[in-house]
């Protein structure tokens, strides 16, 4: 039995030794193609965020009418029941009266605040047993994060993630 094991082991060593010159080229080819796919704008996450941003932004426009049905549709699309977070869209424009270096950060901040406003509005609607689409409230957002950004002309659209527990209403 020992000679058979030694022969098999020698054959495996010879096989790997004969292939060692091809492995670096093959590994290089695979790793280059992987990095191209992982960083391209065609990745699944990029497309999902872009689609989600478009859908929620459209529903937010429809919900501005103050009617209950469009607001209900927005709530169903924007609230993630698994994570307990709202995913809302904020829009921001650069303030041209600011210095040029401050225009981009102010536009991003304005877009994030707008997204947080929509999350607070959705929570207010949920807390009122889905009866009131009231816009007169005061809230503080303790935490939120930007998931995705998209520029269209001079408008910045951001997809904002706001945990439901981070929305605190002022009395």
From the first residue on, what is the mean pLDDT of each consecutive set of 10 residues in the chain (171 residues)?
Answer: 71 60 52 43 69 91 85 91 92 86 88 94 84 75 91 90 90 74
Which residue's entry shows tokens 């169903």?
76
| Packing angle, helices 68-78 and 100-127, rounded to 10 | 110
Rounded to the nearest angstrom, the gap between the alpha carbon of residue 83 and the centroid of all alpha carbons in its chain is 13
Q: Which residues, listed in sequence order, are joined to residue 158 by a DSSP beta bridge?
A: 90, 149
pLDDT at 132: 64
Task: Report the relative pairing of strands 85-93 and 155-163 from DSSP bridges.
Answer: antiparallel
H-helix segments, the chain: 2-19, 22-39, 44-63, 68-78, 100-127
**Which tokens belong to 69?**
């049905």
pLDDT at 104: 85
pLDDT at 21: 54
Q: Is 46 in contact with 152 (CB distance < 8 Å)?
A: no
Cα-Cα end-to-end distance for the chain = 84
pLDDT at 36: 40
């Amino acid at each position: 039995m020992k000679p058979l094991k030694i022969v098999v082991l020698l054959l495996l060593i010879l096989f790997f030794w004969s292939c060692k010159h091809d492995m670096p080229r093959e590994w290089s080819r695979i790793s280059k193609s992987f990095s191209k796919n992982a960083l391209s704008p065609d990745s699944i996450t990029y497309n999902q965020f872009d689609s989600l941003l478009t859908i929620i932004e459209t529903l937010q426009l429809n919900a501005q009418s103050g009617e209950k049905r469009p607001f209900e549709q927005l709530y169903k699309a924007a609230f993630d029941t698994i994570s307990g977070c709202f995913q809302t869209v904020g829009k921001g424009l650069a303030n041209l009266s600011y210095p040029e270096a401050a225009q981009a950060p102010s536009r991003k901040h304005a877009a994030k605040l707008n997204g947080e406003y929509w999350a607070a509005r959705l929570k207010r609607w949920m807390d009122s047993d889905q009866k009131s689409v009231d816009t007169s409230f005061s809230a503080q957002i303790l935490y939120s994060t930007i998931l995705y950004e998209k520029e269209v002309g001079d408008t910045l659209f951001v997809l904002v993630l706001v945990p439901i527990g981070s929305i605190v209403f002022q009395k």
